[in-house]
């Protein structure tokens, strides 16, 4: 661990990697800046790194321009299923998946970490846990997402597949891609944050609505510790990108392991280079035990902000 006297609290957030058009870039950049401000405010108010990460991610979950919380993309059945995870450098972690109606999944993931004996809750059990705790519920389907889903679904059913066949299409991503706009097709709008506080505690958190027209119950990298989120004594990482590919590479843990001998920037550069060799679209943000931040991606863009 770095000399605590030399530490300066820091936070970095991302709003997902991929293609970001000129129409949405200013809005997403503004959203990430608001998230950083919320994280810094948590630190100034005496909060720790986990407080900062949760505060930042909640801002992004509540912003419908991002694919997390409110504004999440819809499944094949036109519903929202969200995932999230959080982890600290003390190896404390919590994750949730396939949630329906929990306003801020990152908060539920934190509660799993702090007040249960478990790491990962999913589906109806996770939703029930949120209700027992009295966490805010919400209809996360925005009108814009609903209308877009209807339009895509209608075009698909009028094309090569009927409704019955569509329900059993194994490689749905291959089929739906031609019907998506460029930004929808090449954007992974998972959101995340990593932070270090002045005591040296590191934390990372990630939240997502997944991918357009995913099969119900699909879980990507976001809630999987070591893939979408990871932290230990060397650093903290939040990932975004093609979830299935990130899971196979255990990308977040890989990047943090590099921080044992590299700076945060060197570590994320190395991890993204590894992902590129395996043709995995991704982006990473991180902070190391010295309090330096890093950001790298192999897609066209990834809105980020730090402070």
Which residues are identified as catalytic? 190
Task: Give the integer Cα–Cα distance in Å for 43 and 208.
Answer: 24
Task: Give the integer Cα–Cα distance in Å for 152 and 215.
Answer: 15
Tell me the three state secondary structure of residue 180: coil
> Residue 184: what are its φ and ψ, rounded to 5°?
-65, -35
Angle, alpha carbons 141-210-103 (nearest 5°): 45
- What is the residue whose two structure tokens read 């903290």? 236
Angle, alpha carbons 149-80-22 (nearest 5°): 55
Cα radius of gyration (the chain): 18
Tell me the three state secondary structure of residue 17: strand
Q: How many CA atoms lie within 13 A of 49 on its CB side?
A: 35
Alpha carbon distance, N-terminus to C-terminus of the chain: 21
Joined together, the tokens standing for residue 136 give 């805010």
Nearest to 191 by CA among 61, 55, 19, 8: 61
Task: Give the integer Cα–Cα distance in Å for 307 and 290.
Answer: 15
CB 137 within 8 A of CB 63: no
CB 281 within 8 A of CB 299: yes
Q: How many CA atoms lie within 13 A of 265 on its CB side?
A: 2
């Amino acid at each position: 661990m770095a000399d605590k006297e030399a530490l300066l609290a820091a936070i970095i957030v991302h709003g997902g990697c991929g293609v970001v058009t000129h129409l949405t870039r200013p809005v997403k950049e503004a959203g990430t800046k608001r998230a950083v401000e919320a994280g810094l405010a948590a630190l100034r108010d005496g909060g720790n790194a986990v407080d900062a990460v949760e505060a930042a991610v909640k801002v992004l979950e509540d912003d419908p321009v991002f694919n997390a919380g409110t504004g999440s993309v819809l499944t094949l059945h036109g519903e929202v299923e969200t995932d999230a995870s959080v982890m600290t450098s003390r190896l404390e972690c919590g994750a949730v998946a396939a949630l329906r109606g929990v306003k801020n999944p990152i908060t539920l993931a934190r509660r799993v970490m702090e007040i249960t004996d478990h790491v990962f809750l999913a589906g109806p059990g996770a939703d029930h846990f949120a209700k027992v705790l009295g966490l805010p519920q919400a209809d996360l389907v925005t009108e814009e997402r609903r209308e877009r889903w209807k339009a895509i679904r209608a075009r698909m059913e009028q094309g090569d597949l009927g409704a019955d066949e569509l329900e059993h299409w194994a490689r749905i991503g291959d089929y739906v891609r031609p019907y998506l706009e460029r930004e929808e097709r090449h954007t992974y709008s998972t959101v995340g944050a990593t932070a270090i506080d002045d005591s040296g505690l590191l934390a990372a958190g990630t939240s997502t609505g997944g991918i357009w027209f995913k099969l119900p119950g699909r879980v990507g990298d976001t809630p999987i510790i070591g893939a979408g989120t990871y932290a230990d004594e060397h650093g903290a990482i939040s990932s975004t990108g093609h979830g299935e590919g990130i899971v196979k590479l255990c990308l977040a843990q890989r990047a943090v392991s590099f921080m044992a001998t590299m700076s945060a920037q060197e570590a994320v550069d190395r991890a993204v280079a590894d992902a590129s060799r395996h043709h995995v679209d991704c982006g990473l943000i991180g902070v190391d035990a010295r309090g330096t931040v890093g950001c790298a991606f192999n897609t066209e863009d990834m809105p980020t902000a730090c402070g």
